[in-house]
Chain A
Amino acid sequence: MGASAVTGTEVAGAEVASAEVRSTEVRSTDAVGGRGEAEAANYAKALVNILSDVDDEQRRQSQSQRAILNILEDLDTEKDRLESTQKALINMLDDLEAERRKVDSTNIELHEVNEAMQSFIATAAHDLRSPLASMVGFSSLLTKNWASLSEEKRLKFVTTIDRQTHKLTWLVNDLLTLSSIEGGALNTQPELVVVAEAIAQCLAAGNRNPAEVSISCSPELVVRVDPMHLSRMIDNYLQNAFKYGEPPVRIEATRLGATVEIRVVDHGPGVPPEFEPKLFAKFARADTPNARDQKGTGLGLSIVRGLAEANKGQASYERGTPRGSCFIVQLPVDERAQS
């Protein structure tokens, strides 16, 4: 038994035990030797225990280390995942920024379209009201004052009403044509058209004096186009040349690659350079003395461009040298006719 293991029962019997100790003094030397062995054994056991504890501690530390390593690995993985998420977020932000720029750009375009539409409506309303004002005003004067008006006055008023009625009719027709073009509702019926014949018919229909317009066109030139549209395009260009240009007016048609180019040339003052970009826009009228004197609808060239594009062609303008204007329409040749 170890020295520290003394119980209450042992204390109570201490005297009996003391007597036993005295009677056995001879054996005490042997007892001392036994205690040393026991203590050594205890020390050894304690040492074993300590070693075992150290071992356990080492295992625990090793486990902790592994756990820490695992945590570090997990953190590394988490870091990679976060980096990847961050990259994805940055890409998303870039995409959102690109989308925002697109939306901004679309908004600007819509704003411009809206402004152009409002301007178009305001101008159309103005140009529709002007002839109506004359018609309403003069017809009202005639109705209220018929008896007191001279024959000459009556004729003058009726002539004005007639002129303004025609003006209004042209404007309404032009607006309807333009509306069909822009709304994609234009009925285009292309067929093979001999250009020289179309030009001649157009001059005849417009009561143009052949002496006023010279023509240079091979009779073999054929285009694929809606004949009504071709006639309208040539006529609009001719009207433009006579209104804003000066004679001599010349129509030239030539083959140019896969197209036939029809040019209407006049020798007037030409279009002011700053006005050229707006030339084919709706209600476009240059602020020149010649243009101010004219009362066209301002839709003629816009209609030409729309009709040309509806027939897979294009309309354009070239400045004359040294002066004058050249209005051009290019139309596709008919491949089957050429082969």
Chain B
Amino acid sequence: MKAVLIVEDDPDIQSLIATIFSMDPRFSVAGLAETAEEALALARKTNLEIIVLDDRLAGALTGVEAVPALKEAAPGAKIILFTAHADLRARAVGQPDIDAFLLKTDTGELLPLAQQLTNMLSLL
């Protein structure tokens, strides 16, 4: 099973993402974080394959700001920037450590996207 870390400070959205992944036997929710700082701590001690990352978080760091540190903590993980800020798409394209961008309203795309990214991972 592929380990997923969910970094999201809205409890309803966090619960939604966790439910989506927990209903697919190929994935397991390895951790839930409300801040980038919590996410970094979890990323250092868990072997992650997917990080679903919101930008606007409860802590001092935004999701995008935390991306380089997350990638360093979990170099094998694919990062999906999952946000309601459509204008972050351009920044995601310019940031090589972000592997995919998805708007929060496109929740139906989340699972296929994670599967696609992890398949790419296993091919390497």
Contact = CB atoms under 8 A, between A and B. Distances in A.
Given A129-B105, A132-B105, A145-B23, A138 B16 contact: yes
A140 B107 contact: yes
Contacts of B94: none
A136 B15 contact: no
Interface string B3-26: 000000010110110011001000
Contact of A122 (B13, B85, B104, B108): B85
A134 interface: yes
Contacts of A134: 10, 12-13, 16
A240 interface: no
Contacts of A127: 84
A133 B19 contact: no
Interface size class of B (residues with CB under 8 A): 20 to 34
A125 interface: yes
B16 A133 contact: yes
Nearest to B34: A292
A140 B108 contact: yes
B56 interface: yes
A129 B16 contact: no
- Tell me if B's interface is mostly helix, strand, loop or mixed: helix
A137 interface: yes
B55 to A, nearest CB: 9
A125 B103 CA distance: 11
A207 to B, nearest CB: 23
B84 A125 contact: yes
Contacts of A129: 84, 86, 103-105
A292 B19 CA distance: 25
Nearest to A137: B107
Contacts of A145: 23
B58 interface: yes
Given A133-B16, A137-B20, A141-B19, A125 B86 contact: yes
Interface string A161-183: 00110000000000000000000
A52 interface: no
B86 A133 contact: no
Interface string B70-83: 00000000000001
A125 B15 CA distance: 22
A126 interface: yes
Interface string A132-153: 1110111011000100000000
A160 interface: yes
A264 B102 CA distance: 42
A136 B104 CA distance: 9
Nearest to A287: B60
Nearest to B87: A122
Contacts of A137: 13, 16, 20, 107-108
A216 interface: no
**The 4 nearest A-B residue pairs measured at CB:** A133-B104, A137-B107, A129-B84, A137-B16
Interface of A: 122, 125-127, 129-130, 132-134, 136-138, 140-141, 145, 160, 163-164, 292, 295
Given A130-B13, A137-B108, 12 more contacts: A125-B84, A125-B86, A130-B104, A132-B105, A133-B84, A134-B13, A136-B107, A141-B16, A145-B23, A163-B12, A292-B58, A295-B10
